[in-house]
Structure 1
């Protein structure tokens, strides 16, 4: 009964369009943009920027971004990748430390790619970056109630934040933890968002970048102001594969999109939730991850996802991240309220000569990825989706995609969001929701967003397990 009730609430359809996001307020902001004449790209961008204020442990201006964009009338999606390259001095730093993995701390801080990604998304819209950022600026200035999910992530990251901010920071004051419901104002982030509207992809080429480089290098990191100049988002054809006899598109390397294709190509179509079906897909996912992974243990909770669709047929899914664990590197840039990502430390393989080792200008592998699936009948309709979750993104996306291969009605979309989820622990062991000793009911930390557009009424769905929501206009 609980899943049935949740299924009814996780779906939204509207004649203007629909938005799914990791926070209800963000999804609502996206639909406001649709009502103001924006398209799906404007809506997704506004929702994503709002999430940088609402979900700072997960995503932010100093993080990175991947997306699939499908303009109306296009045969398929285009991939957008905004992952910052390695700083020029990172290889020397790795050698100096004996190639000791720098998963958190100053040496882990990566060159931010998110501003280039947000700016590129604005280029697909029609209202501009300033209009998209306006609601986020207002949230940061007025303040937002500290949510239960942010409080939980802050508690889990308490020792990390204290290590790198012993005098406290906005997200963890020196003397106490923020209480659920306490209003958190972020004036520095509000100003950083304003600077984004002025500088776009060059956000870190100015004073914020100089402050970031100084703060990181003082603490033993490798980023210089020169590393922060000229970071651009890249567009490319998506990676293409087959699942259940249909084409499946994903974001290409350095994302984990190919691992999702690899896993789904190795199993037959969805046959239900029986043990044999679950174990067959789990085995395929294990093997795909073994071929893909970077050599760093899987972690989660440093990412969020947004998807939007409109009546014209535009559709987009965005995954933006501070990397892992929650609060990224653990460093928060004073004066700007920016959580610094640890994509460089978390994404690179710290082994000399490895093809994913730190090298100047090289982008690290990232577990972030998104997928798109065309209508079964070859029509113009398209499904697009993604989830946060570190390496769990692959098993969780594989489960949702296989469910949607069996049908993409409203009921199918709702079922794909609410059916029991399974995941793999750090040793590759299967953990299933509702199984004693494994995961509680609805205990996976998946947070899927899915949209369907291009044919019929634009529809969005959001995983109800955490704080995701779908809102339509």
Structure 2
């Protein structure tokens, strides 16, 4: 099996992320005596600077972790909620049938700051200045632009110039798109962070007290004030019209990140832990449970899955994501125990045939009747559809032709003591919403994942979380933790399935599992505006082989060749408690992700 890089092995620490500057910042924190949580926070803030087309301070961050003292996995949910003014009536009154994929109406409470600081306060050891200093340095002194940043700015250049002048001021210096490889600075963001540090340190006292002061300065102080004032100004969004936002300082002051238990499933001798059904996380649990029952039909040959393996994986993905559409969300009770039960798994497996399904088939867990959003039940979104502001829409992941585009970011860290964490931060992209000039960042657009229809698990309801695609993973085998994840919107839990199968079925190490050919289905409604889908479509890397492509087409799949190296931006870390050895790996696709460690 060809691999792009060696699997890293060490004893001190491993940090893997979607950008080398974040990975090295995290490793620097480990080298200075910090733990995995300190390192993750430092890396997370750096990503907000160096991958601004994929994540920003105005976004969100779900994390799943285990500590050396307690190996029981926990979820830290820093997914912000819908504002009090975000009602279906208000959006319908604006003439909308979907929440726009960009602009101020798509904003929820920005959860990232509270999430990172809560993690640092409760499980880290470093001061806020220690971990935030790396990001401030890059924002103040500059960082080299990767190629996708200028390409993203070029895509929204007209939007910025005509409708988002504050974004044009920051991202189009001198009216021109900055060139790849040049240094770029964001002094307003550096100023914001330094003011937060000053306010935090002015209270004196213990590390924890200063971190709480910084949280308050964001959610009850000057940051909240600036966000509310800016949100009242109408700006153009994906609807093609100007709208003001509804997010207020009170919305921010009344919210905070929370801890919760993960959804866990036992799959053979492995335990998989995911975020709850307010995310798409349990779709991976559903998929691995189904495929475990089909394990005798799964195989890898020289590190490449057979066509039968890909077919079965695609078919179980269609079933899991159909269930996501009918049953997942934060606005109604989710029958998660029934969805993950053995009888229900068996009932879903009975639907799988040797040919590709072209239908969206949610199940009936516990005998309940599934209900799809009217937008989907009426067949809207089938075959695609462009937004008036297409370059700013949603969370771009991979085009139908397989071209790699921006999406989000991911971080995995494990330390010598056995602390481990997987985080998938996202939102607040430079193209998601107009820049707030006094703060140097944009708000997120996660509210586009709500439906403007009553009575659904993912209906827009004030105070509820949008059904996010962000989906970090943690698994255990004989006490050995494995943290992994990827950017990619709706594809996250499909590409993670590819990794899981390569590792557990193919027997490949972490790096080889990441490098193995990837695939995904587009045969279910996407979470992002304009909620399009392509029945029967299977996007795959050409390294599956011409014969596999022919076999899959013969089974009725509408195969799209994505190219040799196009899908996923996975990273992973693990630890063997018996030996103390640490392992790390990261994706070479896109030439940005790196694992570092020693």
Q: CA deviation at 1:181?
A: 1.4
The equivalent of 2:570 in structure 1 is: 448
1:155-194 to structure 2, matched below 5 A, reads 155-162=154-161, 164-166=163-165, 168-173=168-173, 175-194=175-194
Q: Secondary structure at the match of 1:208?
A: helix
CA contact (8 A) 1:56 1:339 kept: no
Question: Structure 2: how far apart are the matches of 1:319 and 1:178?
Answer: 27
Deviates more, 1:346-355 or 1:279-288: 346-355
Question: Structure 1: how far apart are the matches of 2:277 and 2:160?
Answer: 31
The equivalent of 1:258 in structure 2 is: 282
Aligned length: 460
The equivalent of 1:431 in structure 2 is: 539
Q: CA, structure 1 residues 290+162, in 2 after alignment: closer, same or farther (shift >3 Å)? A: farther
Question: Structure 2: how far apart are the matches of 1:320 and 1:52?
Answer: 9
Backbone CA RMSD of aligned residues: 2.2
Question: Structure 1: how far apart are the matches of 2:562 and 2:162?
Answer: 31
The equivalent of 1:283 in structure 2 is: 315
Question: Structure 1: how far apart are the matches of 2:230 and 2:117?
Answer: 25
CA contact (8 A) 1:105 1:164 kept: no
Question: Structure 1: how far apart are the matches of 2:277 and 2:162?
Answer: 33
Q: Secondary structure at the match of 2:409?
A: strand
Radius of gyration: which is bigger? Answer: 2
Q: CA deviation at 1:196?
A: 4.6
Q: CA deviation at 1:50?
A: 0.6
Q: CA deviation at 1:207?
A: 1.6
Question: Structure 1: how far apart are the matches of 2:195 and 2:504?
Answer: 43
Question: Structure 1: how far apart are the matches of 2:444 and 2:169?
Answer: 16
The equivalent of 2:442 in structure 1 is: 339
TM-score, normalising length: structure 1: 0.91
Residue of 422, 425, 432 corresponding to 1:320? 425
The equivalent of 1:237 in structure 2 is: 261
The equivalent of 2:231 in structure 1 is: 216
Question: Structure 2: how far apart are the matches of 1:108 and 1:159?
Answer: 20
Q: Secondary structure at the match of 1:218?
A: coil
TM-score, normalising length: structure 2: 0.73
Question: Structure 1: how far apart are the matches of 2:177 and 2:47?
Answer: 21
In the alignment, structure 2 segments of 5+ residues that lack a partner are: 201-212, 235-243, 330-372, 382-394, 398-405, 523-532, 547-559
1:137-152 to structure 2, matched below 5 A, reads 137-152=136-151
Q: CA deviation at 1:96?
A: 1.7
CA contact (8 A) 2:267 2:288 kept: yes
Question: Structure 2: how far apart are the matches of 1:154 and 1:49?
Answer: 21
In the alignment, structure 1 segments of 5+ residues that lack a partner are: none
CA contact (8 A) 1:140 1:185 kept: yes
CA contact (8 A) 2:153 2:431 kept: no
Q: Secondary structure at the match of 1:7?
A: coil
Q: CA, structure 1 residues 117+306, in 2 after alignment: closer, same or farther (shift >3 Å)? A: same
Deviations along 1:265-321, whole A, 9 cap, x unmatched? 111345221111001001111111122138697843341111111110010111100
The equivalent of 2:299 in structure 1 is: 271
Q: CA, structure 1 residues 176+328, in 2 after alignment: closer, same or farther (shift >3 Å)? A: closer
Structure with higher strand content: 1
Q: CA, structure 1 residues 430+236, in 2 after alignment: closer, same or farther (shift >3 Å)? A: same
Q: Secondary structure at the match of 1:451?
A: strand
Question: Structure 1: how far apart are the matches of 2:91 and 2:42?
Answer: 38
